[in-house]
């Protein structure tokens, strides 16, 4: 990567949120929405990094809205291990964002827990509704009952082992979307999540966006239509047709120039359907712009996309097949295949 360049990317750290504005801060104890400052912008020029504030939020005092602004309201939720944007109409996240490192996954000395801390244990977590969302717009536990779909984590529990609170927050329904179980959520999707975690062995920082999508399908009459199921009684939660994982991974370009980052990016779109284990991950590669256009989200700046290499040219885009669910059912397999926790 050239030493002289300028890139602008949405930048967030602990306590900050992509997009800025009104957010709901949710920790061990649910709090009222607070106003966060506008998002910061990460400026990188000639190997030097600085942070500047973006443009301020635009508000309106129009008399048309004298008795209230109908929205849409973007519920942006700050958790211990991730940030999420919740879609009140679809009743699931519109996106989630994570920052994975060896430390955040507890795989380095920097990420080791203090004696007073305990790592997250999946068996101690349980699914829960998000009471920070108004009841009329909330995903309900009952909606998934006998729906035929798994409660699919957008941010997997295995990415939040740093504490029990962090892991518990991945089980809140504002981090969940309906996913096909066998062949997808319990299998190929889990392999992709594992692949994202393994990127931390090659990169110092891995940013992962997970995005539910609703993509059109060509019908027999030659017209394109978006059709999807809605689960619950009465119908409440929409079932995405596809899911995207968008990656930005960074590392120092060389030991002598740790201040200059080498960046790799990539996007994958998978159908919400059973996928054979032998399917190549590269079959699901799409341009980042395709995901942005389909989701209405601006993920990375043009500068980032132009100056980065594709993730599949930086590392091998290949999932490791691990039948976690079979290992749980068959005790004799637990010695060779460990289930994610």
Instruction: Please give the distance of CA 311 from its chain centroid, rounded to a whole number.
Output: 17
Q: What gap in Å lies between CA 105 and CA 167, rounded to an integer?
A: 12
Active site residue 242: no
Of the candidates 271, 295, 293, 303, which has an alpha carbon nearest to the alpha carbon of residue 284? Answer: 271
Of the candidates 126, 138, 132, 40, which has an alpha carbon nearest to the alpha carbon of residue 87? Answer: 138
- Tell me if residue 194 falls in helix, strand or coil: helix
Task: Give just the sign of the alpha carbon dihedral 295, 297, 302, 304.
Answer: negative
> For the chain, first and last CA: distance in Å?
37
The vertex-9 CA angle with 270 and 3, nearest 5°, equals 115
Burial of 202 (0-12, 13-18, 19+ CB in 10 A): middle
List, in sequence order, every residue forming a beta bridge with 249; answer none if it has no partner.
206, 264
Note the helical H segments in the chain.
141-144, 164-169, 188-198, 288-295, 302-307, 311-314, 324-329
SS (H, E, C) 254-296: CCCCCCCEEEEEEEEEEECCCCCCCCCHHHHEECHHHHHHHHC
List, in sequence order, every residue forming a beta bridge with 35; answer none if it has no partner.
22
Catalytic residue among 63, 92, 153, 242: 153
Catalytic residues: 153
């Amino acid at each position: 990567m050239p030493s002289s360049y300028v890139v602008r990317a949405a930048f967030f750290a602990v306590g900050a949120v992509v997009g800025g504005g009104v957010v709901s801060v949710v920790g061990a104890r649910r709090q009222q929405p607070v106003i966060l400052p506008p998002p910061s912008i990460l400026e990188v020029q000639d190997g030097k990094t600085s942070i500047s504030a973006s443009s301020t939020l635009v508000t309106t005092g129009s008399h048309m809205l004298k008795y209230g602004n109908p929205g849409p309201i973007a519920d942006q939720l700050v958790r211990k291990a991730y940030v999420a944007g919740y879609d009140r109409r679809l009743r699931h996240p519109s996106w989630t964002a994570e920052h994975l490192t060896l430390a955040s996954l507890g795989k380095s000395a920097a990420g080791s827990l203090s004696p007073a801390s305990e790592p997250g244990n999946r068996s101690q977590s349980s699914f829960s509704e998000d009471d920070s969302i108004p009841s009329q717009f909330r995903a309900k536990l009952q909606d998934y009952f006998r729906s035929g779909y798994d409660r699919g984590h957008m941010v997997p529990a295995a990415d939040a082992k740093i504490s029990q609170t962090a892991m518990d927050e991945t089980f809140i329904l504002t981090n969940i979307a309906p996913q096909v179980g066998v062949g997808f959520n319990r299998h190929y999707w889990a392999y992709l999540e594992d692949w994202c975690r393994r990127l931390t062995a090659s990169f110092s920082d891995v940013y992962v966006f997970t995005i539910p999508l609703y993509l059109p399908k060509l019908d027999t009459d030659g017209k394109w239509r978006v059709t999807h199921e809605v689960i619950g009684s009465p119908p409440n939660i929409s079932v995405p047709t596809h899911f995207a994982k968008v990656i930005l991974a960074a590392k120092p370009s060389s030991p002598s120039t740790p201040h200059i980052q080498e960046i790799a990016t990539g996007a994958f779109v998978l159908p919400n359907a059973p996928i054979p284990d032998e399917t190549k991950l590269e079959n699901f590669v799409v341009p980042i712009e395709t995901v942005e256009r389909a989701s209405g989200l601006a993920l990375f700046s043009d500068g980032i996309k132009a100056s980065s290499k594709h993730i599949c040219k930086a590392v091998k885009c290949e999932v490791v097949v691990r039948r976690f669910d079979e290992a749980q059912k068959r005790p004799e397999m637990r010695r060779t295949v460990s289930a994610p926790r």
